[in-house]
């Protein structure tokens, strides 16, 4: 197994800030600490309703992140314009339903290959790497390949919630194998934590995981530096 990058999602830091509509805690500060603790990238989701991360955060993160900035976003004209202006290192295209508590599943690329391909093309021509968040479903992975995206992020939330983890894990592995055969890079994320991540790290060709909730939740008790370091140590031991 090769080195697996840890992308730390700092959205929840902004969620706490917005609970008081104030200026602390600052996700930009969190990103700085996470990088010092060994994060290989910082991930943020700029939502259409701006309920946590704001454009101000995104712009400052682009200036200050020294690793890789991964912007999760819906494939809308508004978000595309922001991404093309800010130019994060990577965009991960996700579906977004107004009012959802968190991203509820992978993007339905198979039903929208042409529209998604247009967005992918514009991002790639601006030098932005493109990943697409998909369910561990081989038809969605193939469709993601047809859009010209360079990577997929396999949705691990179904696995995390499943009673029968073996079956869900096998779906993740199969999705990864199909992606690798198509020349796509393989990322994984959603609902990963300090326990359920171990089997996921055996995913063929896995290069990156994006984790938010578990790390920020743990940070409340042990501090962000230690919470990130402990996750990085798990990845080091398993890769
Ligand atoms: N990957 C994607 C595409 C997501 O939408 C999210 C949540 O914003 C994550 C990873 C991180 O998920 P979690 O907060 O459950 O670790």
111 burial (CB, 10 Å; 0-12 / 13-18 / 19+) is: exposed
> What is the C-alpha to C-alpha distance for residues 141 and 189, in angstroms, rounded to an integer?
15
What would the two tokens of residue 92 be? 């991960």
* 92 close to ligand 1 (CB < 6 Angstrom): yes
What mean pLDDT is reported for the chain? 97
What tens digit of pLDDT does each residue of 33-48 get?
A: 999 999 999 999 999 9
> What is the C-alpha to C-alpha distance for residues 129 and 127, in angstroms, rounded to an integer?
7
* 70 close to ligand 1 (CB < 6 Angstrom): no
Going from the Cα of 19 to the center of ligand 1, the distance in angstroms, rounded, reads 20
Closest ligand 1 atom, CA of 215? 16
* 208 close to ligand 1 (CB < 6 Angstrom): no
Query: Which residue is associated with the tokens 């859009």?
Result: 147
Closest ligand 1 atom, CA of 7? 10
Give, using CA atoms, the residue closest to atom 5 of ligand 1: 103
> What is the C-alpha to C-alpha distance for residues 185 and 42, in angstroms, rounded to an integer?
18
Q: Are 29 and 223 in contact (CB under 8 A)?
A: no
81 forms beta bridges with none
With vertex at residue 17, the alpha carbon angle to CA 16 and CA 22, rounded to the nearest 5 degrees, is: 150
Can you list the residues of the chain whose pLDDT is less than 50? none
The predicted structure's pLDDT at residue 202: 97
> What is the C-alpha to C-alpha distance for residues 39 and 62, in angstroms, rounded to an integer?
16
The predicted structure's pLDDT at residue 91: 98
Range(s) of the domain holding residue 184: 5-238
Peptide bond into 25 cis (omega under 30): yes
The predicted structure's pLDDT at residue 98: 84
* 44 close to ligand 1 (CB < 6 Angstrom): no
CA 90 from centroid of its chain's CA atoms = 10
Going from the Cα of 86 to the center of ligand 1, the distance in angstroms, rounded, reads 21
Give, using CA atoms, the residue closest to atom 12 of ligand 1: 190
* 106 close to ligand 1 (CB < 6 Angstrom): no
Closest ligand 1 atom, CA of 192? 16
What tens digit of pLDDT does each residue of 107-152 get?
A: 999 999 999 999 999 999 999 999 999 999 999 999 999 999 999 9
Q: Are 210 and 43 in contact (CB under 8 A)?
A: yes
Instruction: Please tell me the total count of domains within the chain.
Output: 1
Residue count (the chain): 239
* 72 close to ligand 1 (CB < 6 Angstrom): yes
Mutate to test the pocket of ligand 1, among 106, 189, 196, 219 (most ligand atoms within 8 A of CB): 189
3-class DSSP state of 92: strand
Q: Are 120 and 101 in contact (CB under 8 A)?
A: no
The predicted structure's pLDDT at residue 102: 87
With vertex at residue 88, the alpha carbon angle to CA 236 and CA 200, rounded to the nearest 5 degrees, is: 30
Give the catalytic positions in this structure.
45, 72, 190
Instruction: CATH number of the domain at 207, please.
Output: 3.20.20.70
What would the two tokens of residue 138 be? 């081989």
Q: Which candidate, 29, 38, 16, places its Cα nearest to that of 57? A: 29
* 17 close to ligand 1 (CB < 6 Angstrom): no
> What is the C-alpha to C-alpha distance for residues 30 and 75, in angstroms, rounded to an integer?
26
3-class DSSP state of 194: coil
Going from the Cα of 215 to the center of ligand 1, the distance in angstroms, rounded, reads 11
Closest ligand 1 atom, CA of 214? 16
């Amino acid at each position: 197994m090769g080195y697996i990058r840890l992308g730390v999602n700092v959205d929840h830091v902004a969620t706490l800030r917005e609970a008081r509509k104030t200026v602390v805690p600052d996700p930009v500060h969190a990103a700085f600490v996470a990088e010092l603790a060994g994060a290989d990238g910082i991930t943020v989701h700029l939502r259409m309703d701006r309920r946590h991360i704001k454009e101000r955060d995104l712009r400052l993160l682009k200036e200050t992140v020294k690793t890789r900035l991964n912007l999760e976003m819906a494939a809308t004209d508004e978000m595309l314009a922001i991404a093309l202006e800010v130019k994060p290192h990577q965009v991960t295209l996700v579906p977004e339903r107004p009012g959802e508590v968190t991203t509820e599943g992978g993007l339905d690329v198979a039903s929208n290959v042409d529209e998604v391909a247009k967005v992918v093309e514009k991002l790639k021509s601006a030098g932005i790497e493109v990943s697409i968040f998909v369910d561990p479903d081989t038809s969605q992975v193939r469709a993601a390949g047809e859009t010209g995206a360079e990577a997929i992020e396999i949705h691990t939330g179904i696995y995390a919630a499943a009673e029968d983890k073996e079956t869900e894990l096998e779906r993740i592995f199969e999705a990864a194998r199909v992606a690798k055969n198509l020349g796509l890079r393989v990322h994984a994320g959603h609902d990963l934590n300090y326990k359920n991540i171990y089997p996921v790290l055996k995913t063929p060709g896995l290069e990156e995981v994006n984790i938010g909730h578990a790390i920020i939740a743990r940070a409340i008790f042990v501090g962000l530096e230690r919470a990130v370091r402990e996750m990085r140590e798990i990845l080091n031991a398993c890769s």
